Amino acid sequence: MTVISSSSRDGVPPPPDESSGVLETLEGEDFTALFTRHADELHRYLARWVPMAADDLVADVFVSAIRTRARFDSSRGSVRAWLFGIATNLLHTHLRGRRREREAYARAVQSHESDSHEGRVVDSVDAQVKARQFAVAVERLKQRDRDVLLLIGWAGLDTTEVAQVLGIPVGTVRSRFHRVRQQLRAACPTIVLENNDD
């Protein structure tokens, strides 16, 4: 059984993003603090999809952040959301370049299931079938809906942060996530999807 939640890890929201001021004067120590604060969660997010390329993509996120820091507008969102937006765009580019996108989705689902106790204990054909079924269902989602699922369900961002990442209203994020849950419930009735939208 796979549980997808729209709340952040362990139900505890991430600490407020205090790094927005860092971007204006980004220098050695400030960059180190920014990297230390966000690199691990960005790596976890990217590694679910592309385990072998996650290190490179995280580095690319920060290279891109340094190059485009002048475009960051703290009134539009947090640095965390901005970095996840960069990561999502780089992930799209990377996956577009791959011929076997379906295999990437299957690995992501299996990786997500292995995080749970059941995923470690149940190493059976049934679990593989469910993982493939879920991967196919996720692959069939529209890209914009899939992005919402990934950012909420696997990256642990809340709906406000996802809205900032994707540049859309919070209400649109909620309606897309609701639609995704309905589509996944229909395609994979054995997967439990939590009902909390924030």
Question: Which tokens hold the place of 11?
Answer: 């139900």
Residue ranges in the chain modelled with pLDDT below 50: 1-17, 19-20, 122, 197-198
In the chain, helix, strand, coil percent, each to 5? 70, 0, 25
Predicted local distance difference test score (pLDDT) of residue 131: 74
Domains of the chain listed by start with CATH number: 17-98 (1.10.1740.10)
State the Cα–Cα distance between residues 82 and 42, nearest whole angstrom.
11
Tell me the per-residue pLDDT of 157-198, one tens digit each, with 9 for 90 and over.
999 999 999 999 999 999 999 999 999 888 888 766 665 544
DSSP 8-state code for residue 10: G
Measured distance CA(122)–CA(125) in Å, rounded:
9
Share of the chain above pLDDT 70, in %: 66
CB 43 within 8 A of CB 55: yes
CB distance 8 to 14 below 8 Å:
yes
Predicted pLDDT of residue 189: 80
Q: 167 CB contacts (<8 Å, ≥6 apart)?
A: 85
Residue of 147, 197, 148, 181 lying closest to 2 (CA atoms):
181
Q: Which residues contact 194 (CB under 8 A, 6 or more apart)?
A: 3, 4, 5, 6, 7
pTM above 0.85, yes or no: no
pLDDT for the residue numbered 11:
41
pLDDT for the residue numbered 8: 42
